[in-house]
Structure 1
Amino acid sequence: MLWTKELSYSVLVVDSITLITGLPANLLALYTLIRKAKQRSTPLDVLLLSLTFSDLLFLLFLPLRIKEAAKMKWTDSFVLCPLSGFVYFSTIYNSTLLLTAISVERYLGVAFPIQYKLKRNPQYALIASIIFWVVSMGHCSIIYIVEYHKPRNSTNMELSNRTSCYKEFSSEQLELLLPVRFELFIVLFCIPFVICCFCYVNFILILSRLPNINPQKRSRAISLAVVTLLVFIICFVPFNVSHVVGFIEWNSPPWRVYTVLPSTFNACLDPFVFYFSSSALRANFNHILQQFLNWLQRSVCRKFKCLQGCVTTYEEGTQSSNDTSR
């Protein structure tokens, strides 16, 4: 698969939007969650913090993709190619596992409130987060195996002189890669997605039956469920469907590269999950938003008064000139 102008433009637009919006939002989340964790940490805080680290790591390597798309070829060190792919896909699948864990945590909190409160421990969430990182990175280590797998009639020099990163595969490499992609679809997408759907559907049903719950709280809970499921559908479904199609056809579909684009949006959509999950993040975000609106209002008022003053001065000068001529 070679770079085209259409693909280059698409990657530049999607990755740039993700970087510009996702980086400040995740940095704000990181700052807020670290402050809260120092005071009183909950399992949800640990999961959200791990998801924030995952998104920031993803965003850290995103400029390499932007640079490759802008030049329409890989110009950096060959060592960075599998590393960027490894980080890119590991963080994507780590996000699916963490979003699923958040759905389980939310469901247990409303389905078994007393039992869950007694056994609620941030250490369990920390252990789960570490396991998720190990599982996602362990599966995505196939990137290194494939990249350094030497096809027949190829030399190491030829491999290191390629102009694209993780896009062109030999038949020998595809024999290794396609079954692993299918396993990724089953283990790291289908199972988490089914669990997530089960938890949030029951989560919403339980909340709808509770008579004394605050309507605003119910609305936020439903918004969290909807946003999380939308992240799965928008960001992860197209990419993982390409795994299945590729496995059935025993080839890497040419349109597969476009399915990676929605996955990139994951890093700028996750902050919506943070917003509906954490009251501390909502308060911090609302405070910053209010400060920005106040600054914008002051700036507009100053410019309006300045403009109004200039108009008044002009009118006075015109009137004075007319009086003099008379």
Structure 2
Amino acid sequence: MISWLDWITIGIGLPLTLIVIVAVFLQVKKNQGCPIFVINLLFSDLIQFCGKITMNKDYYTGYVIFCIGLFASLGFMVCISLERYLVIAKPLWYRFRRNIKTSVVVCVVVWVLSVLFLLTPGSPIMLACLHVLPIPVFIFCLVGTIKALSGAVSVPPDEKRRIAAIQVAVLLIYILLFLPIIVVLLLEMTSFEVYTYIYAICYVCLSLSPLADTILYLLSRKSFLDKFLASLCSCKTSDSQEMSTRDIESTTVANTETV
């Protein structure tokens, strides 16, 4: 089942990730900004796909490649969350401190740490602790961003929804797809009876993480999220109008019967 899942995720995720990378570079070419962390996040997804393909011929080499991409993906999710928080909570500091050189240095550090984490020997408990570290960062950025948005008068409402949606998506992706592996790492120290089933579930979650990163990129695109929220608002408006019409009709019928 897992091997079939790998081929399905590779068949869907690999071309989709390549299309998104091309879209990002076209965005940069049009001078619409350079989302360096998003680009590196997508490249870490490509490395994960390459690792899975390599596993079919050389399992150990493919596993190493996959883990490097996985650790890097988690690191760049932290960078994206912190960046969104600084844009709202510390706009002046972020505007004067942010530059391409600093972002490149941060990306290099993330890639180097991803390799070092893999090469450093450690117990499952140590690896589980490393996976738990981003949780306080994600929660802090989410709470801090929402608090800052509530007092940001100059930020349009649609922009507030977009920024908040990115932070919520990052936290949900981590909790649903990355956090379950912590259970597996801790259960490796025990002889839990249903360990194989839990391992399969966690592997499925990790296999879906590159697809979730694509969704995260779409949420960061203003045009996509605006259309999505507009469709939701139109549906909500049509439902409320329909309910209002029904209320008016029922009130008219009741008044007619009373007369």
Place the TM-score, normalised by the shorter chain, in its bin: 0.7 to 0.9
Q: Which residue of 2 aligns with 1:49?
A: 39
What does 1:248-287 align with in structure 2 at a 5 Å threshold? 253-255=195-197, 257-258=199-200, 259-279=202-222, 282=224
Q: Which residue of 2 aligns with 1:127?
A: 105
Does 1:213 pair with 2:155? yes
Instruction: Tell me how many residue pairs correspond in the alignment.
Output: 225
Distance of aligned partners of 1:16 and 1:223 in 2 relative to their CA distance in 1, 3 Å threshold:
farther
Q: Structure 2: which 5+ residue stretches go unaligned? A: 228-259
Superposition TM-score, scaled by structure 1 size? 0.62
* Contact 1:47–1:98 (CA under 8 A) maintained in structure 2: yes
Q: 1:101 aligns with which of 79, 97, 103?
A: 79
The letter of the residue matching 2:21 is: L
Q: Greater CA deviation, 33-42 or 217-226?
A: 33-42
Distance across 2 between alignment mates of 1:32 and 1:38: 10
Distance of aligned partners of 1:256 and 1:134 in 2 relative to their CA distance in 1, 3 Å threshold:
farther
Distance of aligned partners of 1:82 and 1:10 in 2 relative to their CA distance in 1, 3 Å threshold:
closer
Distance across 2 between alignment mates of 1:38 and 1:214: 27
Q: Which residue of 2 aligns with 1:312?
A: none
Q: Greater CA deviation, 214-223 or 114-123?
A: 214-223
3-state SS of 2:155 partner: coil
Give deviations 1:146-199, integer Å, cap 9, x for gaps: xxxxxxxxxxxxxxxxxxxxxxxxxxxxxx6xx443222222x21122111211
* Contact 2:52–2:63 (CA under 8 A) maintained in structure 1: no
Distance across 2 between alignment mates of 1:278 and 1:35: 13
3-state SS of 1:265 partner: helix
3-state SS of 1:210 partner: coil
Distance across 1 between alignment mates of 2:222 and 2:100: 17
Distance of aligned partners of 1:89 and 1:41 in 2 relative to their CA distance in 1, 3 Å threshold:
farther
Deviation, structure 1 residue 41: 7.7
Q: Which residue of 1 aligns with 2:176?
A: 234
* Contact 1:235–1:265 (CA under 8 A) maintained in structure 2: yes
Q: Which residue of 1 aligns with 2:89?
A: 111
- Structure of greater Rg: 1
Give deviations 1:100-149, integer Å, cap 9, x for gaps: 0110011011011011101111221211111111111222236xxxxxxx
What does 1:69-80 align with in structure 2 at a 5 Å threshold? 76=57, 80=58
The letter of the residue matching 1:203 is: T
The letter of the residue matching 2:108 is: I
Q: Which residue of 2 aligns with 1:295?
A: none
Distance of aligned partners of 1:16 and 1:134 in 2 relative to their CA distance in 1, 3 Å threshold:
same
3-state SS of 2:188 partner: helix
Q: Which residue of 1 aligns with 2:244?
A: none
Measured on the aligned residues, the alpha-carbon RMSD in Å equals: 2.8
Q: 1:243 aligns with which of 163, 181, 185?
A: 185
Deviation, structure 1 residue 34: 2.2
Q: Which residue of 1 aligns with 2:165?
A: 223
Distance across 1 between alignment mates of 2:102 and 2:189: 36
Q: Structure 1: which 5+ residue stretches go unaligned? A: 1-8, 69-75, 143-175, 287-326
The letter of the residue matching 1:225 is: Q
Query: Identity over the aligned pairs, expressed in percent?
Result: 21
